[in-house]
Structure 1
């Protein structure tokens, strides 16, 4: 009499477990954003005033920001507060992503990934801060002083918010260039020597990207393109140092 065969565990079980864990991580990330948003919403108008200060400080006497849509006084601060909540939650969100993928990484990959992840977060915040404290005052001073004398500057609050959010994102991403350059060199996709020879194309590419990501004026394009190129050089420097260290460890000349 043959023994009954026990049913095998379905092969989908590991996949289902991963999907459940992924759902849990995503829910935690979303909840973190909502918690921060609820905590900041009481200060929504103050946050908008802070973000609008670079322009408001340069408006001509008698000018002010306006709302041309019925719901703009509510929606503009609401939208900005939600974006700020997402920005503030980025470290925790990336921590959840890291906790999901880390078990599948080797120790040397983990040792390299953590500094890159932390640097990416700091560089993104640095790009947004650079846009607010350096770019906005120069840009808005240029805009408010070059208009016709008989035109009163009264910017719509929603149009201003869309403008500055675009610049925050553009400069935040642009400041990630050292990380991207470093990873390309480290992975062997390219070399420091090859990238160094392509400097003229890189400079041209920086200005093209500046043209696409910023308003159509030379000032804002240059304020994005020049830091992008300098950050590219920083990435080359770190890539050169790492490759030199690897050669020393391998005993190469």
Structure 2
């Protein structure tokens, strides 16, 4: 049997190996996180509350322990993510063309970087302002007491959308490269995109207040404009490339 064909059982065996290795990596990284720096990670996540002198409490038996496990699993997933990606790439790359492999190997680390940038942007800029508004300015005269479980849910619901939103320039690159959109089309649909941005901000933000929705909507608007610029650069590059090829064909004929 040649190297280009593989029976279904072989593919299933490879997929099983990918799942097993990825699961082992996830569990190992989660255990290391739990015992090595689980407490430090919780302290890092709750730092915005401590800076405002807002206590974080546990109202159920074992709630703090379960929350620490969840945080460790999340951190373990992040740490094991390169291993998982390496396994998945090893599974799918043989089926791709050389150009598709090259594009995937460039786009994936860029996507991860943009996601991490979005989460970091949310943690260091938007999140502290939102927490200050919700817990200090709005609740003046009251003493907020946040459970660690509710706070973790709020953090995840707040950070993950920001990481996804930061993929907009990359999405513009891919869609323009595939010929599905053009920069002129993106500019023409700008007003509709603005409306969709604010609707998505209202849906994705965990709080129902206008401030947190604006905090997410404004970066989305800026990222859409960045996507327009990226689309223009990609469109211009590939258009000139096609034009050069056409000129070469004319000369050769």
Q: Does the pair score TM above 0.5?
A: yes
Q: Give the match for residue 249 of structure 2.
A: none
CA distance in 1, matches of 2:234, 2:125: 31
1:70-108 residue CA offsets vs partner (Å, 9 max, x unmatched): 121111111111111112222222222222111111111
Contact 2:49 2:55 in 1 (8 A): no
Structure 1 stretches of 4+ with a deviation exceeding 4 A read none
Secondary structure of 1:219's partner?
helix
Q: Give the match for residue 63 of structure 2.
A: 72
Give the TM-score, by structure 2 length. Answer: 0.89
1:105-184 to 2 correspondence within 5 Å? 105-184=96-175
Instruction: Choose from 25, 34, 44 the match for 1:41.
Output: 34
Computing the radius of gyration from Cα coordinates, the structure with the larger value is 1
Secondary structure of 2:152's partner?
helix
Contact 1:210 1:222 in 2 (8 A): yes
Instruction: Choose from 76, 94, 98 the match for 2:89.
Output: 98
1:20-35 to 2 correspondence within 5 Å? 20-35=13-28
Give the TM-score, by structure 1 length. Answer: 0.89
CA distance in 2, matches of 1:200, 1:13: 50
Q: Give the match for residue 47 of structure 2.
A: 53
Aligned length: 240
Residue 250 (structure 1) aligned with residue 242 (structure 2): yes
Q: Give the match for residue 4 of structure 1.
A: none
> 1:184 Cα deviation (Å)?
1.4
> 1:229 Cα deviation (Å)?
1.9
Contact 1:40 1:85 in 2 (8 A): yes
> 1:13 Cα deviation (Å)?
5.8
Secondary structure of 2:180's partner?
coil
